[in-house]
Amino acid sequence: GAVVSQHPSRVICKSGTSVKIECRSLDFQATTMFWYRQFPKQSLMLMATSNEGSKATYEQGVEKDKFLINHASLTLSTLTVTSAHPEDSSFYICSARPGQGLFEQYFGPGTRLTVT
Amino acid sequence: QKEVEQNSGPLSVPEGAIASLNCTYSDRGSQSFFWYRQYSGKSPELIMFIYSNGDKEDGRFTAQLNKASQYVSLLIRDSQPSDSATYLCAVIIAAGNKLTFGGGTRVLVKP
């Protein structure tokens, strides 16, 4: 149980285009979902927290107009990287928490974004 | 002082031995503690969580929590080469909602 999927696993896009990444909790309802990114040999960096039906809460320094997060249902959250630039190339990972008194957080397999 | 601290390693362990990983945290009000394993190029995988003082065992893994001393540890028994990874300690600090990660301990299990 507690499986989180992400799609796509890998994407290459041209500078200036937008990319959407989907995160789904497959066997539980996720009241809260989180988006992280990780650069090579660095720690996970939390970008934002989203609750179903609410606006996402972004961490300091993360541009909310650039990284659009939508948590439309209890099993789906999306991250859209708008007007991507090469410096946005990174490993983007979502995670989901069942809530209802459960604090465990399960990570998706990640999406490797390369902006050329 | 960092909120969650781990020795970066690498911790080199012979195959079949016990790997012992430690993590300390600064916020005394923290309630929820997690251990994740992350292989190079992959996302973190939850291997243990512990909320109460004492030991919690799951297969070859044992998590130990001591809130008075503000540390949480992970023991890996009968270590296998496939256990070679970075182990991340994570804490939900008091009044918080998000995980605060330590820097991770790299473990190398040598055949």
- B36-56 residue pLDDT tens: 999 999 999 999 999 999 999
Q: Which of A105, A111, A112 to mutate to test the interface with B (most CBs of B within 10 A)?
A: A105
CA distance A76 to A78: 7
- What's the pLDDT tens digit per position in B76-104? 999 999 999 999 999 998 777 889 999 99
Sort B61 into a burial class: Cβ within 10 Å, 0-12 / 13-18 / 19+.
middle
pLDDT of residue A100: 73
pLDDT at B74: 98
Q: Report chain B residues whose CB lies below 8 A from the CB of A104.
A: 34, 46, 49
Q: Is the pLDDT of residue A53 over 90?
A: no
Q: In which band, very low, low, confident or very high, does the pLDDT at B14 lie, cut at 50, 70 and 90? A: very high
**How close is the nearest chain A Cα to the Cα of B69, in Å?**
22
**What tokens does B105 get?**
């301990």
Q: A84 exposed, middle or buried (CB, 10 Å; 0-12, 13-18, 19+)?
A: buried
Q: What is the pLDDT of residues A55-114, one digit of tens each?
A: 899 999 999 999 999 998 999 999 999 999 999 999 999 999 987 777 899 999 999 999
Task: Tell me the percentage of chain B whose pLDDT exceeds 90.
Answer: 91
User: In whole angstroms, what is the distance from residue A106 CA to residue A95 CA?
Assistant: 5
* Nearest-CA distance B85 → chain A (Å): 13
Task: Write out chain B residues lying below 8 Å of A60, CB-based.
Answer: none
User: Taking CB atoms and an 8 Å cutoff, what residues of chain B touch A106?
Assistant: 46
**Contact present, B91 and B3 (Cβ < 8 Å):** yes
d(CA B55, CA B70): 14
B70 DSSP assignment: T
Record: contact A105-B46, CB cut-off 8 A: yes
